[in-house]
Amino acid sequence: MGETSGNRVTGSGRGKEGDVARKAPDEDVTEKDLEVGPPKEWAAGIPAVAKSLRMSYDQMGAGRTFLTLARVNQKHGFDCPGCAWPEGDHRSPAEFCENGAKAVAEEATTRRVTREFFAAHSVSELAGRTDYWLGQQGRLAEPMHKPAGSDHYTPVSWDDAFAVIARELRALAGPDEALFYTSGRTSNEAAFVYQLLVRRFGTNNLPDCSNMCHESSGSALNETLGIGKGTVSLGDLHRADLVFVVGQNPGTNHPRMLSALEMAKRNGARIIAVNPLPEAGLLRFKNPQRVSGVVGRGTTLADRFLQIRLNGDLALFQALSRLLLDAEEAAPGTVIDKEFVEEHTHGFEEWAARLRDLDWAEVDEATGLDRSAIEETAKDVLAAKSVIVCWAMGLTQHKNSVPTIREVVNFLLLRGNVGRPGAGVCPVRGHSNVQGDRTMGIYEKPGKAFLDAIRDEFGFEPPRDHGFDTVEAIRALRDGQAKVFFAMGGNFVAATPDTEVTEAAMRGARLTVQVSTKLNRSHAVCGEEALILPTLGRTERDGDRFVTVEDSMGMVHASRGRLRPASPHLLSEVEIVCRLARELFGPDDKVSWAEFAADYGAIRDRIERVIPGFDEFNARAEEGFALPNAPRDERRFPTATGKANFTVNALEVLRVPEGRLLLQTVRSHDQYNTTIYGMDDRYRGVRGGRRVVFVHPDDLAERGLADGDLVDLTSEWPDGERRAEAFRVIAYPTARGCCAAYFPETNVLVPLDSVAETSGTPTSKSVVVRLSRSGTATA
């Protein structure tokens, strides 16, 4: 690798796969150069291609750019470390989007974080840096250890690192004093052995990133359809007559979805966008792989834009269903799929009776929509033979998220839009393999059948008591119930709510361990003792081994990196788990940890015997296969009633006190989850800054504020106020009474105890705030 100096690799800096190492920025970013222009009316096009190539070249150089982007999302290539959107049977030579290219560039960067970097920068100093600056420093190069009482990380051998972890785990009063977090990028094989280690240790404390995003989807769908996943394939989306895109910004968060929506439009579908913000990607898409997307106007995607008030979605879908019931009464036998309802569903009569008492005044107040817009949308539904509803975190992060998603299911069941071609539910997962991790058993509340299968296959009795989810894990750290925190990927501190509480809780841990590819805030906000364990990325070779992932639509396929590892000191996630297990349980443990570390095929053999749907896993992994999906494949619904369940859900209007606004936290276009790629949000017209809040011009005028003013955001809760300071106001065409700002900067406004009913997901999309000029505390 050559000698090292600071955080830059020196020596030749060039290999067969690479380019000269690029220097990370020394200076942190500021907001002094913030510029705001008008929002864009279309997404992608040549600017997306240019930004992709510019960032790839800056991070990787020309050679590595070609090697990586030519293989991302290709068969016998590697799965994008960004979103979980599926690939079709016919793949483009450039099967990636702008943000996928950014994710690959960040991982395959030639920048390195070495021991000299940690010697030059204390933990205290790193805690004061921005997420962007931390991420720009490059790939972690070797294991690092912060001893208790020290303010610096120092190098540590892998053996010594595992010994530290095993020592602290054995010193606990019980297994439940340890927490084992998982991020979505973890492969199926790594997730399986990770949950096996945790349950072998004796706890179900397996919080994961799903707890903060689509837990509400899983809770609602398991109850109503019997499966916690979507019920559509990519082909279904292409052949649907009508597609709802609700609480979602695909142009930024999963841009390859735009190509699927474009295909649906070409096949005759209508698209209805439901969102408080007018997102460019849903207005018009200029596909850079089509001539019309390069030199033409591209494709108008949304035929109808319902600019709904935050938290109004439950009311909208109840209103649409009520209009469908009215249409059935006016023309019996022409609207409701009575055969499907009678044969495959339960609870219809009770639900329909309650819906006939719907209060239209509350619908108007909750949605903020004109009644005519809802009525016209109902006509679109009546004209469609097949309907799909897609959604993301705009639906899942409210107190009533689970009832809202249950109401989406009611709407679809009414006309038989589940379990047939071109129809169904489509929760669009975020992080690559977040769905696969759950399939592999990363869950704090595992079912009896799964635990029985683990027992029978591995010969030990796994714990049966439920563990902590993400919010409960933070509470346990805060209250001293948990002492050790282990994270398989992710940036836990930046991803979670109630920032001050979470950071204090993490600093109170006896030991924190982060398995990571890049530097992030969770390395700087750590326990008394801390370890950083650097791991291979998706883009890198892992000997002759490969891993597998599951996409957002239940397709499983192989992922095989091609680049030389960023450092000779990296281990794969599987190796890290298995070597820790051997240190913790000894070389004679009944689980074959050494075999698993050497042969991932052996892990897949065990997955096949434990988890239904993975028959002939090793034989099918390279080409890929679809996991069984009873509602989609058989119109079978494995719920408590044996049928798809209509559910009764109360419509409760979220009323905001006078002078307050309803805030949702969102991503910028130069961001993926907590990874900040840059300081721009091109589609919303923002350059050079992130501390901004988008507010309707009329709402600003009512508060005596103007575009460009500097304000503090204060959220109000029963346990007190929380403040995020110094945000520039942007006059923006959001829904009246609503505003938006980026996370993680505004996570501080969301209390730890403000969570969705049933799912426990933080309520980051419905935060009551007041705006005051910076430096004042005006109520």
Q: Is the pLDDT of residue 56 over 90?
A: no
Cα separations in angstroms, 330 against 324, 333, 334, 336, 338: 10, 10, 9, 12, 15
- Say how far apart CA 119 and CA 349 lie, in whole Å: 68
Q: Is the pLDDT of residue 153 over 50?
A: yes
- Residue-level pLDDT at 21: 52
Q: Is the pLDDT of residue 543 over 90?
A: yes
Q: Is the pLDDT of residue 11 over 50?
A: no
Q: Is 659 left (phi over 0), alpha (psi -120 to 50) or beta?
A: left
- Residue-level pLDDT at 7: 31
Q: Is the pLDDT of residue 641 over 80?
A: yes
Mean pLDDT of the region 649-653? 96
- Residue-level pLDDT at 661: 98
Q: Is the pLDDT of residue 14 over 70?
A: no
- Return mean pLDDT, the chain: 92
Reported confidence tier of residue 96, pLDDT bands at 50, 70, 90:
confident
- Say how far apart CA 553 and CA 224 lie, in whole Å: 18
Percent of the chain with pLDDT over 70: 96
Reported confidence tier of residue 88, pLDDT bands at 50, 70, 90:
confident
Reported confidence tier of residue 22, pLDDT bands at 50, 70, 90:
low
Better pLDDT: 704 or 283:
704
Q: Which of 25-39, 369-383, 396-410, 523-537 has the lowest mean pLDDT?
A: 25-39
Q: Is the pLDDT of residue 3 over 50?
A: no
- Residue-level pLDDT at 445: 97
Q: Which of 91-100, 373-382, 469-478 has the lowest mean pLDDT?
A: 91-100
Q: Is the pLDDT of residue 750 over 90?
A: yes
Q: Which of 139-143, 289-293, 317-321, 586-590 has the lowest mean pLDDT?
A: 289-293
**pLDDT tens digits for range 438-461:** 999 999 999 999 999 999 999 999
**pLDDT tens digits for range 210-244:** 999 999 999 999 999 999 999 999 999 999 999 99
Question: For tokens 């399986």, what's the residue?
Answer: 192
Reported confidence tier of residue 2, pLDDT bands at 50, 70, 90:
very low
Q: Amino acid identity of 619? A: A
Q: Which of 31-35, 75-79, 511-515, 706-710 has the lowest mean pLDDT?
A: 75-79
Instruction: Tell me the whole-structure pTM to 2 decimals.
Output: 0.95
H or E element in which residue 149 lies: none
- Residue-level pLDDT at 23: 65
Q: Is the pLDDT of residue 5 over 60?
A: no
Assess contact for 2 and 658: CB atoms under 8 A. no
Which residue, among 411, 460, 396, has the nearest Cα to 758 in the 3D structure?
396
CA dihedral angle for residue 570, residue 575, residue 580, residue 582, rounded to 10 degrees: -140
CA angle 240, 232, 346 (to 5 degrees): 100
- Which residues, 6+ apart, have CB-to-CB distance to 453 below 8 Å? 609, 610, 611
Mean pLDDT of the region 363-384? 98
Which residue, among 135, 96, 115, has the nearest Cα to 516 in the 3D structure?
135
Reported confidence tier of residue 146, pLDDT bands at 50, 70, 90:
very high
Q: Is the pLDDT of residue 431 over 80?
A: no
- Residue-level pLDDT at 13: 32
Q: Is the pLDDT of residue 430 over 80?
A: no
Would you give the distance in Å from CA 306 to the centre of its chain? Answer: 24
Q: Is the pLDDT of residue 9 over 50?
A: no
**Count of CB atoms within 10 A of residue 546's CB?**
20
Mean pLDDT of the region 499-503? 97
The end-to-end CA distance of the chain, in Å, is 58
